[in-house]
Amino acid sequence: MIFNKQLTENITLLYGELNNWKYDENDVQYPIMYYLVFKFYSYEYEGYFSHKRLQDDDSEPVSLSGNTELFDSFNKKLEDGDFLEEIKQACADIWEDEKDID
């Protein structure tokens, strides 16, 4: 899902998708992991976010990759939850979109 949503002056959420999901005992699908791409200044960073962690108000990614320039600064912003609500909303939008497809 393309977002191109400005989160802060220097951070843009570019893209996201459901990365992993499972089915419960009633055969109901539920999300496990989301993949999000951000632009921080002129660098792109890819992160994997756990649905469970986000529910617990933890925006630290399970995995983060991208250019080493400014990597630590961007990761710190994620860990500090500077835009937790925006990430949670993006993941909720992705999930709603995925549920509509199935």
pLDDT at 95: 95
Q: Which domain holds residue 29?
A: 2-101
Radius of gyration of the chain (CA): 14
pLDDT tens sequence across 16-42 = 999 999 999 999 889 999 999 999 999
Give pTM, 2 decimals.
Answer: 0.93
Structural domain total, the chain: 1
Closest to 83 in 3D by CA, of 68, 61, 66:
61
Q: What is the dihedral of CA 95, 7, 39, 14, to 10 degrees?
A: 30
Residue 94 has pLDDT above 90, yes or no: yes
Helices and strands: H and E segment counts in the chain: 3, 5
Residue 37 exposed, middle or buried by CB count within 10 Å (0-12, 13-18, 19+): middle
